With several copies, the nearest count.
Chain A
Amino acid sequence: MFRKILIANRGEIAMRVIRACRELGIRTVAVYSECDRHALHVRFADESVCIGPPQARQSYLNIPAVISAADITRADAIHPGYGFLAENATFAEAVNAHGMTFVGPSPEHLRQFGDKLSAKAAARAAGLPLLPGSHGAVDNLDECVEVARLVGFPLMLKAAAGGGGKGMRVVEDEDQLRKVFAVTSAEAVAAFGSGAVFLERFLRTPRHVEVQFAGDRFGAAVHVGERDCSMQRRHQKIIEEAPAPNLAEGLRDRIRSAAARLVASTGYVTVGTCEFLVQDDEFFFLEVNPRIQVEHPVTELVTGIDLVQLQIRLAAGEPMPFAQSEVRLRGHAIEVRVNAEDPWKFTPSPGRVTGYHAPGGPGIRIDSAIHEGAMVQPYYDSLAAKLVAYAPDRESAIRKLLGAMDEYVVEGIRTSLPLQKLLLADPAFSAVTFHTRFIDEWLRSRPG
């Protein structure tokens, strides 16, 4: 097992990794940019190193600075959290080259799943269902139109190197396709450095269901249950839950085992997520997130498994500590992301937190990077805290979460909570009639 882990991240996920390390008896090193000097992760890590100015490119994304910080503190592993360098294969390679362990999959797996086309190829090889579409990049408009006629409209034009909801465009008919093909490709070059695009059938009201999985170096491959993350605004998840409610008969098992099959067939090591779109009783492979995810707590609460500790153990070469049959779910968990943003316009709301009081009591979990007097920086993403409720059943979990949101006081900055309160209280949420574009449509239909 590792002696000392450097955490190449900030915010709540850095605190999450510090807590996991503390329980494993591993020392921690925090890195921070100049504006994060007083952040919680700096305070609670055993050691800390300033690695650069506030701009992420020069600090949290600065590979030489992060590696040097690990070097001078003699860390033997680096945990990348999510975002920043978490899915950067070059970074993972540099970590290995310096004799340290990257707490995540191999650089090869990062590359394989970082590119949507090679990810789809791996999924197809493992027998996972894919959305009808081009089986690879389409090189020119003519080829594109030809494939589109086979797939049918509406369809989705996607940048192969895109992700996180970026680089995608819905196309309703052939005319539109002819108009947007070149633009989409050019945008992809600008945004991702590659102009490769591909086509997929567009689902109008799919749900986003993802399976948490884990693999070890000895070939063990398990799933740890699934989550529903359909509540998205502008392709960003803001409410997540486990298990996924109201799945069609048999679908849950098929989805879970599909994910485990992909892990087994690719030899993936550590934890990750396989994302699917679900429409009625069909499901389609979307992508793999080769890292710990923001929404991992809901899975932890229903399984009792500490996923970050598991990730660290697997990265250290330990065997999977449980069998698939030992993964048992109990109860229901729902998470809301407390983003520092305008709840209606989604514009970031950085600033000083002048008042703060977190809810508590049974079944309430808070993963937070803020406190009274804390500064929410304008340089980084807007996730300030996560509030998770756990109860024996979904209805109780919703009630518990609504109560906890009422207790939550965050002053000085705006947060997404007012929006999430309305969404959780909406009959569509209780009835599970939502889908990935539910929030966008719901917002458009709001009076005023």
Chain B
Amino acid sequence: MDRKEMRELVREMKRAGVGEFTWRSGEFKLHVRFAGEGSALPAVVAAPLAPAAAAPAAVPLPPKAEAKPAADGRAIRSPIVGTFYRSPSPDAPVYINVGDRVRKGQVVCIVEAMKLMNQVESDIDGVVAEILVENAQPVQFGQDLFRLTSG
């Protein structure tokens, strides 16, 4: 590879947004790292800034789904913010228990929001493997409520 080719290779890698690359052919080795150049490197930070030394006070709400993802990715999630109830009223039996088979469209719990009892229907079929929220606890939008296995 001559110098012109090398230059073109480097230019292409840069255009492709590559941060660092090594090219080896025979005993020839090229290692390039693009250090900055204004902003050649898109400093993509998917994660938020790391917390400052003293993190804000602990959040009493349960962590959202991603903190404890359903092992096989199948979960019934809360469609709204509110308070989670496993049964339609304090005296009534719970909608579902661990081991129960659940069908798509079946009511599995209630999430109360603004004094309204919203019935939550499962959007998947499966067997209840774990109940992830305690009765009468607050839940956020999108929070995992039940983990299901294909059973």
Contact = CB atoms under 8 A, between A and B. Distances in A.
A and B touch in the complex (CB under 8 A): yes
Q: Size band of the B side of the interface?
A: 35 or more
Interface string A8-49: 000000000000000000010000001000111011111111
B43 interface: yes
B44 A354 contact: yes
B93 interface: no
A46 to B, nearest CB: 5
Q: Size band of the A side of the interface?
A: 35 or more
Interface string B36-48: 1001001111111
B49 to A, nearest CB: 5
29 contacts: A34-B141, A34-B142, A38-B47, A47-B60, A49-B61, A50-B142, A51-B81, A64-B80, A65-B80, A65-B113, A68-B80, A68-B114, A71-B114, A72-B81, A73-B138, A98-B114, A352-B44, A354-B39, A354-B42, A354-B43, A355-B43, A355-B50, A373-B49, A406-B52, A411-B50, A412-B39, A417-B52, A418-B53, A421-B53
Interface of A: 27, 34, 38-40, 42-53, 59, 64-65, 67-69, 71-73, 94, 98, 352, 354-355, 357, 371-373, 405-409, 411-412, 417-418, 421
B51 A64 contact: no
Nearest to B53: A418
Contacts of A39: 48
A69 B138 CA distance: 9
Contact of B56 (A44, A72, A412): A44
Contact of A372 (B43, B56, B59, B112): B43
Given A50-B143, A354-B42, A71 B52 contact: no
B49 A357 contact: yes
B58 to A, nearest CB: 9
A65 B140 CA distance: 9
Listed residue (A68, A352, A421) with the most chain B CB atoms within 10 angstroms of its CB: A68
B132 to A, nearest CB: 15
The 9 tightest CB contacts between A and B, nearest first, are: A373-B45, A72-B138, A38-B48, A68-B113, A50-B140, A68-B81, A68-B82, A50-B141, A64-B114
Interface in B127-151: 138-143
B59 A47 contact: yes
B116 A64 contact: yes
Contacts of A44: 56
A401 to B, nearest CB: 13
Nearest to A373: B45
Interface string B10-35: 00000000000000000000000000
A409 B142 CA distance: 30
B38 to A, nearest CB: 8
B127 to A, nearest CB: 27
Contacts of B42: 352, 354, 412
Nearest to B84: A72
B104 interface: no
Given A50-B141, A355-B43, A412-B39, 6 more contacts: A49-B138, A69-B81, A354-B43, A406-B56, A408-B52, A411-B39
B83 interface: yes
B64 to A, nearest CB: 6
